């Protein structure tokens, strides 16, 4: 049986340590994942503020982990120093982050079931009534301020725990540009607005914006439109959502269901 993505080159832009699962799914479907990370996750240069906060975790009512990277960086330090306070409620931005917490033995994690973003977190019953609650947000050095600002407006006492930083990798783009020049690259997957901007800066070629772009959040799709991408396909969240979008797009026209913000 012919595999649905047979012979199709697909750009996978997740950070190197997170690209394996999507790449494997593409290979199983017959495609050729081309790994080109557009974000690199690094340790923060000064760990003292984070370590101090970890030592004060008993002061907090709620801890929010904003990404799997935040879990790995923070929980590695927490596990080496102490256990999580029993009264501390743990919140994850999505199921991938909750799964990573589970890898560290954390149970009872509260996470949105459908959308995985700040808006979904703010809709959680636990975070609607937070007046006087002490909340810590484990996150990277950059990111949206909506969650923190909204919690402060609701009366929370808030601290940020910066536990990693994101930088644009220094990568050789020559093989990538060669693939585009020979019309081999048929699709791009992207999972963050920052990563999309990095990709544009790193590659900087017109071919890029003519290639079908598969994104897992409406906010990224909007950024892509503003940047001039001609074919933006909005998928459901996570690697499974991206794969489903790819499979649907590359099916024969007669069986394809066009999703989201794709432009003809």
- Burial degree of 227 (CB within 10 A; 0-12, 13-18, 19+): middle
Determine the average pLDDT of the residues in 89-100: 94
Determine the average pLDDT of the residues in 93-114: 93
pLDDT at 116 over 80: no
The pLDDT of residue 47 is 95
Tens-place pLDDT, residues 152-167: 999 999 999 999 999 9
The pLDDT of residue 200 is 94
Distance separating alpha carbons of residues 3 and 73, to the nearest angstrom: 38
The residues, ordered by sequence, that sit 6+ positions from 91 with a Cβ below 8 Å of its Cβ are 62, 63, 64, 65, 109, 110, 111, 121, 124, 126, 127
pLDDT at 232 over 50: yes
Range with top average pLDDT, 124-133, 201-210, 250-259: 124-133
Question: The whole model's pTM is what?
Answer: 0.84
Tens-place pLDDT, residues 178-213: 888 888 899 999 999 999 999 999 998 778 899 999
Determine the average pLDDT of the residues in 86-107: 95
The pLDDT of residue 1 is 57
The pLDDT of residue 263 is 38
Determine the average pLDDT of the residues in 139-155: 91
Q: Cα separations (Å) of 180 from 32, 44, 132, 170, 202?
A: 14, 35, 54, 19, 14
The pLDDT of residue 261 is 47
pLDDT at 14 over 90: yes
Tens-place pLDDT, residues 37-84: 999 999 999 999 999 999 999 999 999 999 999 999 999 999 999 999
């Amino acid at each position: 049986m012919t595999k649905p993505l047979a012979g199709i080159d697909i750009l996978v832009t997740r950070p190197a340590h997170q690209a394996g699962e999507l790449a494997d799914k593409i290979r199983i479907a017959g495609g050729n994942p081309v790994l080109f990370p557009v974000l690199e996750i690094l340790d923060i240069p000064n760990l003292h503020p984070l370590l101090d906060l970890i030592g004060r975790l008993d002061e907090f009512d709620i801890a929010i982990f904003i990404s799997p990277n935040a879990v790995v960086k923070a929980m590695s330090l927490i596990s080496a120093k102490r256990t999580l306070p029993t009264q501390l409620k743990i919140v994850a931005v999505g199921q991938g982050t909750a799964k990573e917490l589970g890898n560290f033995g954390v149970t009872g994690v509260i996470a949105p079931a459908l959308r995985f973003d700040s808006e979904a977190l703010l809709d959680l019953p636990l975070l609607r009534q937070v007046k006087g609650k002490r909340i810590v947000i484990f996150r990277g050095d950059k990111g949206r301020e909506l969650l923190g600002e909204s919690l402060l407006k609701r009366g929370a006492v808030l601290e940020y725990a910066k536990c990693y930083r994101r930088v644009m990798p220094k990568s050789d783009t020559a093989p990538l540009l060669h693939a585009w020049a020979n019309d081999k690259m048929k699709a791009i997957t992207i999972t963050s607005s920052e990563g999309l901007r990095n990709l544009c800066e790193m590659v900087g070629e017109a071919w890029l914006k003519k290639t079908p772009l598969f994104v897992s959040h409406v906010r990224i799709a909007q950024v892509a439109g503003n940047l001039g991408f001609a074919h933006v396909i909005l998928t459901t969240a996570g690697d499974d959502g991206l794969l489903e979008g790819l499979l649907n797009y590359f099916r024969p026209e007669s069986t394809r269901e066009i999703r989201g913000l794709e432009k003809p």
